[in-house]
Amino acid sequence: MSRYFESLMVMLGREPRKPTKFTSAADTIHTLKRVEKVDWVAQKEHARAHRAQGKPWRNRRWAFLIGINLLFVVSFWLDIQILEGALTASRLLGFHMIDVNSALQVMLAHKHIIVNLIIGTGTVVLLWLLFGGRSFCSWVCPYHLVAEWAENLHLYLAEKKLVSDHTFNRGVRTVLWVVFAALAWVTGYTVFETLSPTGILSRALIYGPGLALGWVALLLAFEIFYSRRGWCRYVCPIGLTYGFVGVFSPLRIKYTLNNCFHEGDCRKVCEVPHVLEIVKKGRASDAIMDTGADCTRCGACVDVCPSGALKFDVKGLSKLV
């Protein structure tokens, strides 16, 4: 239970702490890594062979994300009633689904519990409890995809030394979650839904573009020229809400300490690199760990890991890969 608590505190903004206690298995592995010499030539060859495989999890994720959002579009324009509505509130083959954060904002604005929202939210909570709360961010959210493409441009410009990344305290996201909740309560209006690029892009795809896309463009410009993945890392309360939903999810990115070369490529590609503090030398408290509540399960770290130390896994069931 202490590990879950630590994961939640890190998600809320606290910096990961270096463990003071290790399991006997982890302690043995750390000791061996300190005294044994690593065959770096073999490691590089292994890494080269692995990266030649491409990025299968990224490709699957992009295909799924684009497919889900196009299904909204097709259902609306062809009136086939498969997936109706938008990401904020929808109906899949008759099952009502309501975004958890949106439902919370609406109930705070109305100052009472709305039964219909609870029913619709229940389906979504169960879904993301099974598949990892923040999986919504990387596998469904349309803003995540365009921000990921914008991130590539940011990295290109940073490599040319034309821009630099400016970071913020991750606790800002928790503060803003409270601020948006308070604004809904005080004003009786869902202020965040007006600003949410997730909802704006979802509605624009389905019902057509509007002036609100200008706000999305400003956010992307901010991320390209000033702060890499700034909205998702430091602002968006949706990610925090779904992080709470998926804290006990059986679907995880599993880290196997014994297989790790500690080369650090996984942290370079991770949207939330604090969840991968465990891959640093001497930081894993157990031989097998998961990446925690704030992990988006995007699979980017799995794609670049040269040794297979990071893999998708289902607790108590079977490996996915």
Count of beta carbons in the 10 Å neighbourhood of residue 231: 22
Strand locations in 12-150 (E): 83-85, 89-92, 95-98
Q: Of 65, 130, 145, 135, give the one whose Cα is nearest residue 299.
A: 135
Averaged pLDDT, groups of 10, the chain, 321 residues long: 83 91 92 68 56 82 96 91 86 83 91 81 89 93 97 96 95 96 95 95 94 97 97 95 91 94 92 95 93 95 93 76 44
Domain ranges of the chain: 2-16+27-53+253-314, 58-244
Provide the CA 301 distance to its chain's centre, in angstroms.
Answer: 12
312: Cβ contacts below 8 Å, ≥ 6 apart: 57, 251, 252, 253, 254, 297, 299, 302, 319, 320, 321
From CA 128, how far away is CA 100, in angstroms rounded? 10
Q: Which residues pair with 255 in a beta bridge?
A: 289, 310
Q: Of 230, 234, 128, 231, give the one whose Cα is nearest residue 174.
A: 234
Provide the CA 283 distance to its chain's centre, in angstroms.
Answer: 22
**This prediction's pTM:** 0.90
From CA 167, how far away is CA 228, in angstroms rounded? 8
> If DSSP codes are grouped into helix, strand and coil, which group holds residue 1?
coil
Amino acid 36: pLDDT: 66
Contact of 271 with 165, CB cutoff 8 Å: no
Amino acid 32: pLDDT: 85
Contact of 315 with 256, CB cutoff 8 Å: no
Amino acid at 48: R
From CA 40, how far away is CA 172, in angstroms rounded? 40
Q: Of 181, 195, 175, 173, give the one whose Cα is nearest residue 240.
A: 173
- DSSP letters for 20-46: S---HHHHHHHHHHHHSPP-HHHHHHH
Amino acid 175: pLDDT: 97
